[in-house]
Amino acid sequence: MIYMLDTANIEAIAMAVDLYPLAGVTTNPSIIAKENRPLREILLDIREVIGSERMLHAQVMGKDAEVMLEEAKALRGIDHDIIVKVPVTPQGLKAMKLIAAEGIRITATAILTPQQALMAAVAGAEFLAPYVNRLDNICSNGVQVASEMVHLINTYQLDAKVLAASFKNVQQVHEVTLAGAHSVTIAPDVFDQLLVHPLTESGVAGFVNDWEAIYGHDKTVL
């Protein structure tokens, strides 16, 4: 399982890098706009915090494929290892072919159907990001879409990976992982919730009480 954090907030990224087995950070234009400072600054700051070994995803904004290609090159100019997010519009699909030909890694984004995902994978996208919660919000089934994407990747033996996105709760994350999604990108608040269970907290508190009653306050096994 590849875990990524869906935010551009530097404090949240630093904390997650410190605590969790994080493989990368994903952003989108709304996430970037929340930070209200230049994109270049934000991407450079994130790279500094995550180091060279983790992935960083940033999205193009152009409407035409040729503009998206230029944006992809410009993003690579900011961060050589950037993974460029491209929406699965017809122009986006054209852009994916052009961007892939430049050797730039691609995440196909704004995926709402398995067929969008399949075509993006054939066009050269490495990651395919279905919007799970946005589908659930319209009484569709985000997990089902992610699951069918996994099935298509396996059926056609494609190199692409499902990067399930847009989560509002842990149950959605749990279900896409059961469905075999290769990776997930999760906002910090939901990410933190993945580890929360009251019996874990009370269990650890019980160990501390029993141990400290005999060995003393703040004693470790050292």
Residues taking part in catalysis: 85
Rounded to whole angstroms, how far apart are CA atoms 135 and 180? Answer: 18
Dihedral (Cα; 20, 24, 28, 32), 10-degree rounding: 70
Position 97 contacts ligand E4P (CB under 6 A) = no
Q: Which two tokens stand for residue 16?
A: 């997650």
Given candidates 7, 9, 26, 183, which one binds ligand E4P under the rule CB under 6 A? 26
Taking residues 183 to 222 in sequence order and writing x for each that binds ligand E4P by CB under 6 A, - otherwise, the string is: --x-------------------------------------
5 or 69, CB closer to ligand E4P? 5
What are the residues facing 26 on neighbouring strands? 6, 57
Position 8 contacts ligand E4P (CB under 6 A) = no
Where in the chain does DSSP place strands (E)? 2-6, 22-26, 55-59, 83-87, 105-111, 127-130, 161-164, 183-186
Position 166 contacts ligand E4P (CB under 6 A) = yes
97 or 168, CB closer to ligand E4P? 168
Given candidates 150, 153, 165, 179, which one binds ligand E4P under the rule CB under 6 A? 165
152 or 162, CB closer to ligand E4P? 162
SS3 93: helix
Contact in structure between 4 and 26 (CB atoms under 8 Å):
yes
Position 4 contacts ligand E4P (CB under 6 A) = no
Interacting residues with ligand E4P between 125 and 144 (CB under 6 A):
129, 131, 133-134
Contact in structure between 114 and 148 (CB atoms under 8 Å):
yes
Given candidates 9, 109, 116, 183, which one binds ligand E4P under the rule CB under 6 A? 109
Q: Which residues contact 30 (CB under 8 A, 6 or more apart)?
A: none
Q: How many residues bind ligand E4P (CB under 6 A)?
A: 11
Closest by CA to 58, choosing from 72, 69, 70, is 72
Minimum distance, C-beta of residue 29 to ligand E4P, in the bound complex (Å) = 8
Q: Which two tokens stand for residue 42?
A: 């934000």
188 or 211, CB closer to ligand E4P? 188
Q: Applying CB under 6 A, which residues contact ligand E4P?
A: 6, 26, 28, 109, 129, 131, 133-134, 165-166, 185
